[in-house]
Structure 1
Amino acid sequence: MAKITLLDGGLSRELERCGATLRQPEWSGLALMNEPEKVQQAHANFVAAGAQIVTTNSYAVVPFHLGQARFDQDGAMLAQRSGVLARAAAATGSDVRVAGCLPPVGGSYEPQNFDAADSQAVLSVLVDNLTPNVDLWLGETLSCIDEARAAARAVADTGLPLWISYTLRDELPDQLDSPVLRSGEGVADAVRAAIEAGAQAVLFNCSMPEAMQPAIEAALQVVREGGHDIPVGVYANAFTAEDDGAANEVLSGIRKDLDPEGYGTWVDRWLAAGATIIGGCCGIDAPHIAALKSHLDRQA
């Protein structure tokens, strides 16, 4: 079995388990502002569960969630804080890396909101203030190719590895033969663009488990055809299809079939398809990651 990298899970759900308050528009950014100790605890819970990478709580440190005035005033401080908290939690484990989260600046699942100038202005604040505490960059829940290219431009001068993670449309069975991003762009084109932009891994996240295997297969075909040596990964959400609204509008209920055992069944399919980076997104908490760690250890 190929060496597997185990990511953390969805931070919002784990923050809820830690007793943090989440509400819109700030969402997980509210805990970063008011309950930083719970943010660190959530990260530490994932480390204790076996995660080899924890991702900074900077997803909501954007004007879309904070508002422009608050971002201008506190964005740099909050980005720095998110890195410090993740690094402190990573230190409770052994060889745990910190990924600096680079979110879609215009909001989750909102590719039509992409603006190149706005994205660079916001991402530069995140990158400048996260850099001292991160080991790699993770552009995540990216709905279009332009968002991936923006992330690559933002980190070009940092010297740190970049991973790009796209979110997929959840319609099935249409996705089975031709998987697409939420923008409608094809997965193969998106993977090529990520590699051309310098990504050292390509992942898919914040989509239903059912949408993931076709995307893995399409990505690996591009990797093989191009003679590249980069891993492909998955961290799905535990929600029903989210194509009709932005993510994180409410703390959604999770699917009963995606308990730790049920989620592990999907992970086995992704591993068989060739994925070598595995974790969880919205609704996947520390108990899920602990179960995955045990499952993967048994297969090693």
Structure 2
Amino acid sequence: MQTTTVPELLKRGPIVLDGAMATELEKRGVKTDNALWSATAMLDHPQAIAAVHQSYFDAGAQITITNTYQANVPAFVHAGIPAPRARQLIQDAVKIAQEARTDYAASHPDFQALIAGSIGSYGAYLADGSEYTGKYHLDEVAYQEFHRERLGLIMAVGVDLLAVETMPRLDEVQALVHLINQQWPQQRYWVSFSIRDPQTLSDGTPLAKAARWVAQQSNVVAVGVNCTTLENVEPALRTLRAAVDLPLIVYPNSGDEYDPQTKTWQPTERSHQFDTYVPRWLAAGANIIGGCCRTTPKDIQTIARLVRQN
């Protein structure tokens, strides 16, 4: 398998990112309706995680994201898992992605893919939907203390880049990016925000302001939005493109709607309509496209086909 980077891949055209982890784990019998979410699979179903990674490679993904979004030591400890075991599980998640890539490359000699280490927000750790509201606040030191251990564990194993994702607050991103640049000054990463609407982060910060701050930082390879509706993406891209010259990354949800009362997802007329939306996103300046909640390998296959046609 040849090694590559985001800038090198972008020279050939838009990049295809993978899709949802939890949705595909559930199809493989893993229960994710708990505070650990998809990180639950690290305990008893590591082979299912590997199978999900490979299913996205098969679909055309050029970047796969580690199953560490909700995986942090305090969350595991709160679930009754000793801290040393929790640390090993986080590192195992990175190793599973590495091994899935190696195994896939063994039968696909021209295959190239990057591994992005997922860093979810403090709001995700709270497991109460705060990553979509931004209704929490720590100072910079406290944000960094929360993120430092997981970052260190992931970096010790090694990833091609970091996915600083579903971030509802600019101050948390600032603290996290400062930490990355201080402790791992060569590490590349992207920042993807959780938004209230196509112009505004969940915490009320203008998206353009947040993107401009990110664009001024070292080693950032892309900025964008994720875990939002399909219809939010195009106007968000226009907001971003007017503000920065960085590559833009988008990976929205499938179009299904979440019912907080029943804690279930319901299909809508927009569900899985990537055929309709992706050409618009490409025209609006998207450089990296994938999927978030409820998206599937079939959706990523559709994205890959449309990107190739671009």
TM-score of the pair, normalised by structure 1: 0.86
Corresponding residue to 1:258 among 262, 271, 275? 271
- Matching of residues 13-52 of structure 1 within 5 Å: 13-52=23-62
After superposition, the Cα gap between the structure-2 partners of 1:118 and 1:268, relative to the gap in structure 1 and judged at 3 Å, is same
1:36/1:85 contact within 8 Å kept? yes
Unaligned runs of 5+ in 2: 1-10, 106-110, 125-130
Residue 69 of structure 2 is matched in structure 1 by 59
Q: Shift in Å at residue 87 of structure 1?
A: 1.0
Aligned CA-pair RMSD: 2.4
1:62/1:71 contact within 8 Å kept? no
Q: Shift in Å at residue 64 of structure 1?
A: 6.8
- 1:83-126: CA deviations, max 9, x gaps? 00111112214111100101002322242223234432232122
Q: Shift in Å at residue 2 of structure 1?
A: 7.2
Corresponding residue to 1:282 among 248, 271, 293? 293
- Matching of residues 78-157 of structure 1 within 5 Å: 78-91=89-102, 92-93=104-105, 94-107=111-124, 108-115=131-138, 116-131=140-155, 132-156=157-181, 157=183
Distance of 1:168 and 1:21 partners within structure 2: 28
Residue 213 of structure 2 is matched in structure 1 by 193
Distance of 2:72 and 2:42 partners within structure 1: 13
Distance of 1:196 and 1:56 partners within structure 2: 26
Corresponding residue to 1:209 among 220, 227, 230? 230
Distance of 2:196 and 2:226 partners within structure 1: 11
Q: Which one is further off, 100-109 or 148-157?
A: 148-157
1:64/1:105 contact within 8 Å kept? no
One-letter code aligned to 1:267: V
After superposition, the Cα gap between the structure-2 partners of 1:12 and 1:250, relative to the gap in structure 1 and judged at 3 Å, is farther
2:59/2:301 contact within 8 Å kept? yes
2:72/2:90 contact within 8 Å kept? no
Corresponding residue to 1:165 among 192, 196, 200? 192
One-letter code aligned to 1:184: G
One-letter code aligned to 1:56: T
Distance of 2:171 and 2:251 partners within structure 1: 21
| 1:182 lines up with 2:202 in the alignment | yes
TM-score of the pair, normalised by structure 2: 0.83
After superposition, the Cα gap between the structure-2 partners of 1:103 and 1:155, relative to the gap in structure 1 and judged at 3 Å, is same
Distance of 1:231 and 1:41 partners within structure 2: 29
1:98/1:133 contact within 8 Å kept? no
1:75/1:125 contact within 8 Å kept? no
One-letter code aligned to 1:113: Y
What is the aligned residue count?
282
Percent identity of paired positions between Structure 1 and Structure 2: 27
Q: Shift in Å at residue 182 of structure 1?
A: 0.9
Q: List, as ranges, runs of 4+ consecutive aligned residues in structure 1 with deviation greater than 6 Å.
A: none
Residue 7 of structure 2 is matched in structure 1 by none
One-letter code aligned to 2:191: I
- 1:209-257: CA deviations, max 9, x gaps? 111112111111111xxxx4x2012110124566x96xxx945234353
Q: Which one is further off, 205-214 or 66-75?
A: 66-75
- 1:183-228: CA deviations, max 9, x gaps? 11111111012123332210210000111112111111111xxxx4
1:2/1:276 contact within 8 Å kept? no
